[in-house]
Amino acid sequence: MRLTQFSDYSLRLLLYLAQHPDETCTIGDIAQWYGVSKPHLVKVAHNLVKLGYVHSTRGKGGGLRLAKPAEAIEIAALIKRTEPDFHVVECFDKVRNTCRVTSSCQLKHVLRDATAAFFKSLAGKTLASIAST
Amino acid sequence: MRLTQFSDYSLRLLLYLAQHPDETCTIGDIAQWYGVSKPHLVKVAHNLVKLGYVHSTRGKGGGLRLAKPAEAIEIAALIKRTEPDFHVVECFDKVRNTCRVTSSCQLKHVLRDATAAFFKSLAGKTLASIAST
């Protein structure tokens, strides 16, 4: 059971920005710090800008900063936006589901409750709470 | 956030056996019913036999049956045995982890609690409870 690398890198990028509140950080700096692919991180950053978590400025001295306080960035909400889906098993996906027992099987409901419990546990957890040392 | 197809198929194979308690079922029957790859299902069945969930008999009239009552097969325990790992993000994996902020970052603890909540929600849920119509 895993989150995507895209969610993992989204969390790490935000964490870096939260730990450098007085700096404008470049993607190059962040990629180098974590030792991860810069092109991959560019996509992650682009998405975080689009979602309103990160503010980006161009040109010399430009870079990335958090677009809102770390206390206002909820982990659960972030993950819900960076994961492509929560199709824990195939039958969660109405379009691709081929399972013939879907109508009688209770598995989907049981796993949906478990996924809800996963997110309920994250309630109130913010970027600030994971960034604190 | 997904379980592996291997876990998905393990659950489906067991579900089929639970719904055919008075039959010895072949992998061919089950693969055909679900419309899934037989070779893939062979591996799934082999693992379920190894884990003690399924009893397999060879020869003419042979096939698969549940090795224990559906009421005794817990979904959480099964998933814990069919998933390769629960490395929700990279830093869960001590061997492969490259993240430089692991020591100060609280993300791992927060996601570990959420994963525990996922499994706590599954407590008491058995193959019998998902197979019931």
pLDDT digits (tens, 9 = 90+) for B26-81: 999 999 988 889 999 999 999 999 999 999 999 888 899 999 999 999 999 999 99
Taking the Cβ of residue B11 and every Cβ of chain A, the question of whether any pair is shorter than 8 Å is answered with: yes
Residues 93-122 in B contacting A (C-alpha not used; CB under 8 Å): 98-101, 104-107, 110-111, 113-122
3-state secondary structure of B120: helix
Structure tokens at B5: 């197809």
Q: Work out the angle at residue B99's Cα, subtended by the Cα atoms of residues A36 and B90, and round it to the nearest 5 degrees.
A: 90
Range of the domain at A113: 5-131
Task: Kindly report, residue by residue over A62-88, the tens digit of the pLDDT.
Answer: 899 999 999 999 999 999 999 887 777
Position B124 scores a pLDDT of 92
ipTM of this predicted structure? 0.82
Smallest CA–CA separation between A115 and chain B, in Å? 6
Report the number of distinct structural domains present in chain B.
Answer: 1
Q: Could A117 and B121 be called an inter-chain contact, meaning their C-beta atoms sit closer than 8 Å? A: yes
Nearest to B83 among A1, A36, A129 (CB): A1
Position B104 scores a pLDDT of 67
Smallest CA–CA separation between B86 and chain A, in Å? 5
Residue B109 pLDDT > 60: yes
Listed residue (A86, A72, A74) closest to A3, CA to CA:
A86
d(C-alpha A127, C-alpha A18), whole Å: 7
Structure tokens at A14: 């935000």
Q: Could A107 and B88 be called an inter-chain contact, meaning their C-beta atoms sit closer than 8 Å? A: no
Smallest CA–CA separation between B122 and chain A, in Å? 6
Structure tokens at B35: 């419309």
Task: Kindly report, residue by residue over B86-99, the tens digit of the pLDDT.
Answer: 777 777 777 777 77
Position A101 scores a pLDDT of 67
Task: Kindly report, residue by residue over A34-68, the tens digit of the pLDDT.
Answer: 888 999 999 999 999 999 999 999 988 889 999 99
Task: Kindly report, residue by residue over A99-117, the tens digit of the pLDDT.
Answer: 776 666 788 889 999 999 9
Alpha helices per DSSP H over chain A: 5-19, 27-34, 38-50, 75-82, 107-122, 127-131
- Tell me the average pLDDT of chain B: 89
Position A20 scores a pLDDT of 92
* Residues in B touching A120 (Cβ below 8 Å): 117
DSSP code of residue B24: P
CATH for B51:
1.10.10.10
Position B94 scores a pLDDT of 76
Smallest CA–CA separation between A77 and chain B, in Å? 14
B75-82 helix and B5-19 helix, angle to the nearest 10 degrees: 140
Position A107 scores a pLDDT of 85
**Residue showing tokens 């810069």:** A38
Q: Could A115 and B110 be called an inter-chain contact, meaning their C-beta atoms sit closer than 8 Å? A: no
